[in-house]
Structure 1
Amino acid sequence: MLTWIEAVAFGAGGGLIAEAVVTYGRMNAWQQARHAARAAEAALPPLDKFIDPFADSLAALMRVTLGGAAGWLLHTEVTGIYAAVTVGASAPALLAQIGRATTPSEALRGPREAMLEPLASADSEGPSRIREEAP
């Protein structure tokens, strides 16, 4: 098991890796646009049309912070470096999902009610429907 400091560091590293993947996607889009412009003999698009240094730096800082926070929150659950990096990389989605859970009782009650709905509709149609569908 990792200490909380290790989980924070590796979680932040996972956030940084995820941001690097996003930045790579933007750089790839810029490269493709440049190739298309060269083929059409048009003006080459500048890099700042695809990357905004100020906004992207803030987003990267936030992703690293969220990765570290997720590592800290889940440090007792994370058992290895790869798990901590994965938690950090998925931190925005993971923390958003945790934030949507309002209370533990609603989280437990919600899926059970959803599972009982098909049973209630089968009961309302009666046993004849069940016998008709049986082989």
Structure 2
Amino acid sequence: MYNVDSNVWVRQESDGTATIGLTSYACSLAGQIVSYTPKKVGKDVKKDKSCATVESGKWVGPAKAPVAGEVTAINEAVSAQPGLINDDPYGEGWLVKIKPADWAGDSADLKAGADAMAAFEAKMEGDGFGGC
């Protein structure tokens, strides 16, 4: 599921946790990620507030959590090699895992499937994005 405005995705896992990452569009806009600073395990994050800070050669900013909850894991592989975010944003390049406080409520306004694709296409067109 996607928060299109914040360029982040979230996936609910079978154990009830939620994995959060940047979209490939965010990676294209930012360029090569060179630094990753996640919130610490045990830290509560609010919806639409930073769960990690990422830095590229042309951008430094927050990755905003699409759902609220407690950070349960950070991606040590990304800490060692921040470029994984660019190389595999939906797989090995995830940012944090959280235990959602209210998955049903917080995820209600997120987009999935064709709705997400249409929203991203409109956003890219509005942003004048020419492609990767």
TM-score normalised over the length of structure 2: 0.23
The structure whose residues are more often strand, as a share, is 2
Structure whose residues are more often helix by fraction: 1
Bigger radius of gyration, 1 or 2?
1
